[in-house]
Amino acid sequence: MATAAPTPSVPAHDAPETVTVEQEIVACDGGVGALGHPRVFLNMEGKGFVDCPYCDKRFVLKAGAGGRGH
């Protein structure tokens, strides 16, 4: 039986952690100090969420928010 391949808009697995934020641009460093990963800045680009390419943490824009930061 064939199964459908995941598409870019549908993740292949659940994100390990989801964080609700109030800005479309967020920073992620893995959250565990020296054992984390390099700090990256991620832009939701209007999608309402973004996943960290290092740790797969998902950042979700809070309902009613939409700020781009300062």
pTM value is 0.71
Number of compact structural domains in the chain: 1
Nearest 10 degrees: Cα torsion 63, 16, 57, 31: 120
Q: Give me the phi and psi of 34, to 5 degrees please.
A: -65, -20
Six token digits for residue 25: 């641009």
Over residues 22-56, the pLDDT tens digits come to 999 999 999 877 889 999 999 999 999 999 999 99
Compute the distance between CA of residue 37 and CA of residue 42 in angstroms, rounded to an integer.
14
CATH of the domain at 41: 2.60.260.40
Amino acid occupying residue 48? G
Q: Is 69 contained in some domain?
A: no
Residue numbers of the domain that contains 31: 18-61
- Predicted local distance difference test score (pLDDT) of residue 24: 96
Q: Is 7 contained in some domain?
A: no
In the predicted structure, residue 6 carries a pLDDT above the cut 60: no
